[in-house]
Structure 1
Amino acid sequence: MRFSTGLAAASVLMLASAAWAQEAAPVVASVSAPASEWRAVAAENLLVIDTDKGRVLVELAPEVAPGHVERIRLLAGRGFFDNLLWHRVIDHFMAQTGDPLGSGEGQSPYPDLKAEFTFRRDSQTPFTAVAAPAGSVVGFLRSLPVQSQPDALMAKMEGGRVSAWGLYCPGVAGMARDDAPDSANSQFFLMRQPYPSLEKRYTIWGRVVSGLDVVRALKFSPNPDGIVTGPDRMTRVRVASDLPEAERPAVQVLDTNSARFRALADAARQAKGADFSVCDIDLPVQVAGAPAA
């Protein structure tokens, strides 16, 4: 059963960390910033997921997982995800979909994907650091929380590129798989809460920039396997660039290079102290345009 073994094991660990996940609420600050401090999300990197509970907008991260982003774009463009169920949803954890059978056993007709658990970044990668724990640095690649080897190592690495990986904060989008690392295909999940034990084990390909409340409102199962009875569904999934211009939502995220973002990050570090995590930073977002289909 696709993704049943790996994520079922993780759901057992979830029971011990559920209380931590509930307490790890992000620091939300009221942000009034000039137009120059907002970054527009490119239409080709914006996945529009309409569900029977509302709209979810995911910013794709092609620098992090180019093969998986290409697959998501392909399947969305062909209408593969339309009307598929959120068949596996675990509270304080994640919501999973992308199975045409709705059972956890199905996938697309395309070949399985090679794992992209980590990626390489150089000085040109759009990365903003917010903290530097011993031996590494954490921050954002656009809207995606990332941990990486420090910049100081770039001069010593081939091609000037250091190793980096996405972090499983709330809203992060990951690819489901079987036990084999290279077995991801069409099923994916969106995080309802942070879950670091998945990091470098399941490919990350984007993050929810709007609609995390919708993800958390999806019907979940109280059973350990997370299989939902009477699940919610996705009604339409498209990359924004594939929609008619009049139907495209316009999304702006606070630029992580802006003074307002630095103030927000500083406030989160001060509020959390030694318990600070990059997941504690909630990026402000502005959405305009057409309503959900």
Structure 2
Amino acid sequence: MRRTLLAAALAFGIILPAAAQDAATPPKRKTAQEIVDAAPASAWRDLDPANTLYMELPGGRVIIELAPGFAPEHVANIKTMAKGGFWDGLTIYRVQDNFVVQFGDAEGEEAGKAKPYPAGTKTHLPAEFTRSAKGVRFDKLPDVDGWAPEVGFADGMPAARDPKTGTLWMTHCYGIVGAGRNNAPDSSIAAELYVVIGQAPRALDHQLSLVGRVIKGMELLSVMPRGPAPMGFYEKPGQRAPIISIKLASDVPEVQRTPLQLLRTDSQAFIDATEARRNRVDDFYTQPAGHIDLCNVPLPVRETPKG
């Protein structure tokens, strides 16, 4: 009956009462950004300074949230090296297009040129490619993934889970930080780190120890000049990008810190914002996708509100 009334009204130019118009027009759905902007304070968590790195480059600050739950021994070594100033004065020496930037001691394999590790640095670590999923909250996405039985978020990090083996691992999404290694699985000590700057290389999942993710400052890394093929290592030392310092935020005076909050992945705001991205209904999109890839789910970050 309502459709008949609406059709007749349109045919004869009749103006329907406001109530009839409202009933005929579906309510406007909020965008993902509108949902995030309206998220209550309880939906946000503070960035922990004890698990945050400040990477100071000539162009600005790159902020990295560490993931001790996934790679505890690698993260402990990173903290030791950061406290000892290991990366201060070293360089970003590899930028491979659509893949990674890599930094550390470019001369580390040359006899007599390697920078000494700070006291307390462990020179052998186990491979930390996966962790036990037991007791870990996993905010699962309903979407099918080609690389793992289940994908979602754990400890605020994009992750995958295999219920059959009871294992959980971080995924190589844009901005993820990993520890470089040689062929031996246990050949990394987290002195050489890389950041994904291209399309997610998910074939590397549970092949390397992933130690965190960049939450602010990716634009400083993604615009760097690419090194030559095939692997992007700069051929001349002068091409390398200098690192002023890498420090734990907890070792930086509070007035010099960047106060940030991250949207909790178990919050209703995060769930709703992800659904809004999965099925976009704004004027540009002609057909909702009905699907979202794990690495296309942004993890919202904001400056901590004052007061």
Q: Shorter-chain TM-score: which interval?
A: 0.7 to 0.9
Amino acid at match of 1:113: L
Q: Is the 8 A contact 2:71 2:211 kept in 1?
A: yes
* Alignment partner of 1:179 is 2:195: no
Q: Cα RMSD over matched residues?
A: 2.5
In structure 2, what residue type is equivalent to 1:61? A
Compared CA separation, residues 234 and 107, structure 1 to 2 (3 A)? same
- Call closer, same or farther: CA 1:223–1:28 in 2, change over 3 Å: farther
Among 130, 134, 140, the residue aligned to 1:118: 130
Identify the residue that residue 128 of structure 1 maps to in structure 2.
Answer: 139
Asked if 1:146 is matched to 2:152, the reply is no
Match of 2:193 in 1: 188
Q: CA deviation at 1:108?
A: 5.5
In the TM superposition, what whole-angstrom CA distance separates every residue of 1:129-176 from its partner, at most 9, and x where no partner exists? 1236488321112331000024xx6xxx8xxxx201110000000000
* Alignment match of 1:243 (pick from 246, 252, 265): 252
Q: How much has 1:198 moved relative to structure 2?
A: 1.2
Q: In the alignment, what sits opposite 1:3?
A: none
Give the structure 1 partner of residue 27 of structure 2: none
2:88 is matched with which residue? 82
Equivalent residue number for residue 20 of structure 2: none
Larger Rg: 2
SS in 1 for 2:33: coil
- 2:168 corresponding residue in structure 1: 164
Between stretches 105-114 and 141-150, larger displacement belongs to: 105-114
Q: Which amino acid aligns with 2:246?
A: V
Question: Residue 116 of structure 1 aligns to which amino acid in structure 2?
Answer: E
Identity %: 31
Deviation, 1:268, is 2.9
SS at match of 2:92: coil
Residue in structure 2 matched with residue 23 of structure 1 by the alignment: none
Contact 1:98/1:107, CA 8 A, preserved across alignment: no
Give the direction of change, closer, same or farther, for the CA distance of 1:112–1:88 in structure 2 (3 Å limit). Answer: farther
| C-alpha spacing 1:88/1:144, structure 2 compared with 1 (3 Å) | same
**Separation (CA, whole Å) in 1 of partners of 2:130 and 2:291:** 25
Contact 1:59/1:143 (8 A) holds in 2: no
> 1:84 Cα deviation (Å)?
1.1
Structure 1 or 2: more helix by fraction: 1
SS at match of 2:194: strand
Mapping 1:53-64, distance limit 5 Å:
53-64=59-70
Whole-angstrom CA distance in 1 between matches of 2:141 and 2:221: 26
TM-aligned CA distance change 1:28 to 1:71, over 3 Å:
farther
**Structure 2 partner of 1:35:** 41
Contact 1:130–1:139 (8 Å) recurs in 2: yes
Render the CA deviation track for 1:81-118: whole Å, top value 9, x for unaligned: 11211101112110001226277995754413211011
Alpha-carbon offset, residue 224 of structure 1: 1.0
Partner in structure 2 of residue 202 of structure 1: 208
Counterparts in 2 of 1:174 and 1:236: CA distance versus 1, 3 Å: same
TM-score (norm 2): 0.75
1:48 aligns with 2:48: no
Please give the alpha-carbon distance, in whole angstroms, between the structure 1 residues aligned to 2:41 and 2:304.
14
From 137, 143, 157, give the equivalent of 2:150: 137
- Among 99, 105, 119, the alignment partner of 1:93 is 99
How many Å apart are 1:68 and its aligned residue? 0.6
Amino acid paired to 1:189: Y
Instruction: Extract structure 1 runs of 4+ deviating beyond 6 A.
Output: 102-105
Shift of 1:259: 1.6
Question: Distance between the aligned counterparts of 2:102 and 2:263, measured in 1?
Answer: 28
1:277 corresponding residue in structure 2: 293
Q: Which runs of 5+ in 2 are unaligned?
A: 1-30, 281-287
1:273: how far off?
3.6
Between stretches 100-109 and 32-41, larger displacement belongs to 100-109
* 1:58, distance to aligned residue in structure 2 (A): 0.9
Deviates more, 1:233-242 or 1:268-277: 268-277
Task: Give the letter for the 2:152 counterpart.
Answer: G
